Structure 1
Amino acid sequence: MEPLELIIVLLCVLLGLGRGADLAFATDAATGLCTAGAVWWRYLALGAVVLAAVLAGRSRPLPPEPLRSRPLPPEPLRSRRPAAGVLAFAGAVCMLAAGAAQFVLAAGTVSTFVRILLEVACAVWLSNLGRSWLRGDGWKTPAGGLPLAIAGSALFYWNVLMRFMENSSSWHRVQPTAAVWQEMAALLLLAALARTLYLPRPENGRSLHAAALAAFCLCLCWELPRVLLLLAAGFGGGMAAVLPELLSGLALCCIGGMGLACAGKEKAGNN
């Protein structure tokens, strides 16, 4: 990982700590309305770190022009990556558990049923990714191909639509608004992974690094404090009420961690 990207990772961690303090002392977690300080400071901090992450990822150099006409070298992504594989499997398990919890506990609406189906597809795609990254006998392209990757990524597009339809969000509600950004970050990361694995291009490395760092910021660092808050609420006696949201948040955290693991071993010029 490049020194600039290490700085971005540190900024993301600091943002997550700030978000944790905000939830603990200054924000109503149920409504997202800030009870202390201006809401714009939250957006300024989040937007600045995400923008820095994207710019850092996009700053990766492309291969020299003469090399682009030759066959592409093996992608560093197509290799054994235990950390990414474990996180992909953990995300798949959380996705399946979230779908099961919604099926049992949530209202049986059409939108919920569609989301459960897409969660199953995403879980299969993540588990195939994890299996490929954990293989000890050499890399093999994840089973299911590009159609499964698209179906698995569609979950986050559907979640973005549902966020707009179900939440009366406004700029003064930080959590529902940031949740849309989180779903888009997860969507862009999985789309970048699919392009890198199935449609190799010299410029894919930049898109992957930008999406990976943005997902780490939004899906892990920003989401983890909320997951811990939901976990505390569940242990306080309301586990059934928060379980679907808690499991979905854990899956999002796994995807954010997977993004960092994917970016961590890449080398400039080999993308």
Structure 2
Amino acid sequence: MEPLELVIVLLCVLLGLGRGADLAFATDVATGLCTTGAVWWRYLALGAVVLTAVLVGRSRPLPEEPLRSRRPAAGVLAFAGAVCMLAAGAAQFVFAAGTVSTFVRILLEVACAVWLSNLGRSWLRRDGWKTPAGGLPVAIAGSALFYWNVLMRFMENSSSWHRVQPTAAVWQEMAALLLLAALARTLYLPQPENGRTLHAAALAAFCLCLCWELPRVLLLLAAGLGSGAAAVLPELLSGLALCCIGGMGLACIGQGKTGND
């Protein structure tokens, strides 16, 4: 890992710690509104770290060869994400089914679980790399969940800029979508320019999907252990799946020699 990448990882971890403190001490749990400090400072911190991560990612293309080899960390995270995504779909079906949009989301979560499990299987193979099964159609179907979630966030959430979580959730879904789309392009449609896009998407996903999301997942876990586990279970499992995808972003950063973009 390059020095600039280590700096980005450190900034993302610090951002996550700050987000955890903000949720614990400066955010109203019931409404999601900030109780201390201006909301714009939250957006400034998040935007600055994400922008820095994207710029660092665009500065160096990731080589494709390491992604076409055995990568245990990425494979385990992909499988964990698939399990969480499948469990989230099951929880949605049991506890929250009833609308067309919910059923569409369940189907897309299953498709995403298939795509992630195919990725995990390819990265964990001991008998040599093989392109993930299903081809580009499965990759597109598996990534479509996050496009759908972005649309649903805009249509269903009556949020304002003063509620940080719903707004940041749109950025998180877009980061996951861009990472999975970049992986699909790299694995199925190799082009020289894919390396920079994948690097930027991987760092942004690590920041938004893991470091920013993990404190909220821990808060949901604490709430579920306290009471009303069924109410938070679908959201908790979806958050865990998002964290796994963010971890995949970091695990996908190769250490091989870079080529020309």
**What interval of TM-score do these two structures reach, taking the shorter chain for normalisation?**
over 0.9
Deviations 1:45-68 (Å, cap 9, x if unpaired)?
Answer: 0000000000000xxxxxxxxxx9
What is the deviation of 1:107? 3.5
User: CA offset at residue 71 of structure 1?
Assistant: 17
CA 1:69 to 1:253, structure 2 compared with 1: closer, same or farther past 3 Å? Answer: closer
Q: CA deviation at 1:23?
A: 0.4
Q: Is the 8 A contact 1:212 1:260 kept in 2?
A: yes
Work out whether residues 61 and 195 of structure 2, in 8 Å CA contact, stay in contact via their aligned partners in 1: no
Aligned equivalent of 1:29: 29
Q: Which moved more, 1:258-267 or 1:109-118?
A: 258-267
Distance 1:180 1:143, change over 3 A: same
**For each residue in 1:62-115, what CA deviation from the matched residue of structure 2 results, as whole angstroms up to 9, or x when unmatched?**
xxxxxx999999622100000000000000000000000000000410000000
Alpha-carbon distance change, 16 to 71 in structure 1, aligned in 2, over 3 angstroms: closer
Match of residue 80, structure 1, among 54, 57, 70? 70
Output the TM-score relative to the length of structure 1: 0.92
Aligned to 2:239: 249
Q: Deviation per CA, 1:127-146, whole angstroms, max 9, x where unpaired?
A: 00000000000000000000
Quote the Cα distance in structure 2 between the aligned partners of 1:72 and 1:36. Answer: 40
Q: What is the CA distance between 1:218 and its match in structure 2?
A: 0.2
Distance 1:72-1:123 versus aligned 2 partners, 3 A rule: closer
- Computed over aligned residues only, the root mean square deviation of the Cα atoms, in angstroms, reads 2.7
Separation in 1, partners of 2:158, 2:60: 52
Number of aligned pairs?
261
User: What is the CA-CA distance between 1:167 and the residue it aligns to?
Assistant: 0.5
Contact 2:62–2:198 (CA under 8 A) maintained in structure 1: no
Stretch moving more, 29-38 or 9-18: 29-38
Deviation at 1:269, TM superposition (A): 2.0
- Consecutive unaligned residues in structure 1, runs of 5 or more: 58-67
TM-score normalised by L of structure 2: 0.96
Q: How has the CA–CA distance of structure 1 residues 78 and 30 changed in structure 2, closer, same or farther, with 3 Å as cutoff? A: farther
Secondary structure (helix, strand or coil) at the match of 1:128 reads helix
Q: CA deviation at 1:31?
A: 2.4
Does structure 2 conserve the Cα–Cα contact (< 8 Å) formed by 1:94 and 1:251? yes
Cα gap change, 1:269 to 1:96, in 2 (>3 Å): same
Whether contact under 8 Å (1:212, 1:256) holds in the other structure is yes
Q: Secondary structure at the match of 2:67?
A: coil
1:148 and 1:121 mapped to 2: Cα distance?
Answer: 7
1:30 is displaced (CA, Å) by 3.4
- Could you report, residue by residue, the CA deviation over 1:206-235 in whole angstroms, capped at 9, with x for unpaired residues? 000000000000000000000000000000
- Identity rate, percent: 93
- Residues 76/245 of structure 1: CA separation in 2 closer, same or farther (3 Å cut): same
Gaps of 5+ in 2: none
Match of 1:236 in 2: 226
Instruction: Name the stretch that deviates more: 159-168 or 68-77.
Output: 68-77
Counterparts of 2:116 and 2:52 in 1: how far apart (Å)?
A: 27
Change (3 A) 1:264 1:24: farther
Q: Is the 8 A contact 1:76 1:270 kept in 2?
A: no
Q: In 2, distance between residues paired with 1:71 and 1:102?
A: 38
Once the 2 structures are TM-superposed, how far is the Cα of residue 32 of structure 1 from its aligned partner? Answer: 2.0
Shift in CA distance, 32/70, structure 1 to aligned 2, threshold 3 Å: closer
Shift of 1:40: 0.4
CA contact (8 A) 2:97 2:103 kept: no
1:26-45 CA distances to partner (integer Å, 9 max, x unpaired)?
A: 01233221000000000000
In structure 2, relative to structure 1, the CA distance for the partners of 1:174 and 1:266 (3 Å cut) is: farther
Structure 1 residues 266 and 248: CA distance shift in structure 2, 3 A: farther
Aligned-partner SS, 1:51: helix
- Aligned CA distance change for structure 1 residues 38 and 97 (closer, same or farther; 3 Å): same
Does the Cα contact within 8 Å between 1:72 and 1:202 map onto a contact in 2?
A: no
